[in-house]
Amino acid sequence: MKPLKAIFNFVTGNTVGAIKELLPARYKKKLEEVGIDQQTINKVLGVQKQVLEGLSNDPEFLKHMADKEVEMERIYAEDAESQRRLEEAYIRSEDGYVRRARPTWLYVLMAIMACRIALFPFIAMVSAMIDSGTADTVKTVLADFPIPPQFWTATLYSFLGYGGYRTIDKMGGPRAIIERIRSRKE
């Protein structure tokens, strides 16, 4: 219920109320000690709005931002060109490993998972059965091989990231995907 209350407070303009709904109790007290209230936040937001309005009418600032945007586009174009040259070099390579997709990191993660999930517990189980032969010993040994959640997270993100990257790459890159989406809307 707290998230709904927080969303309601935020939508109705009560930012402090929204923050207080989501914070644990010990932090709510700190917020009250500091003395942040809705009026203070409204003043800060008002000043921010004035600054942004002033900058949006300043021709010097607008020229500076346009120059920065041109510079960013130039850097992006150079980066895209270097990526294209790198891909060309991969394609021209005589080495088969270099020519195809190289998810070496994923191969390493799969090898580690195979050892952690199958090989190490199997070896421990066999040695426990040889030593004592009881099922309780085997269960205890298998319980000693947990896989840390961080490893699962890193593996999942690696697979999803690589799969997503290859999919986008095969579709012609981000700009091609955006163009396909735009053409469907028309």
The dihedral sign for the CA sequence 36, 37, 43, 47: positive
Residue 55 pLDDT > 70: yes
- Reduced DSSP (H G I as helix, E B as strand, rest coil) percent helix, strand, coil of the chain, to 5: 85, 0, 15
pTM value is: 0.35
Any idea where the domains of the chain sit in the sequence? 2-57, 102-186
Q: How far apart are CA 154 and CA 60, in angstroms?
A: 46
* Residue 56, token pair as written in the block: 């949006």
- Nearest CA-CA partner of 168 in 151, 180, 154, 186: 180
Q: How far apart are CA 37 and CA 64, in angstroms?
A: 36
Q: Which has more pLDDT, 13 or 180?
A: 180
SS3 90: helix
- pLDDT tens-digit profile of 80-103? 898 888 878 777 777 766 666 566
More confident residue, 44 or 54: 54
Calculate the average pLDDT of the chain. Answer: 75
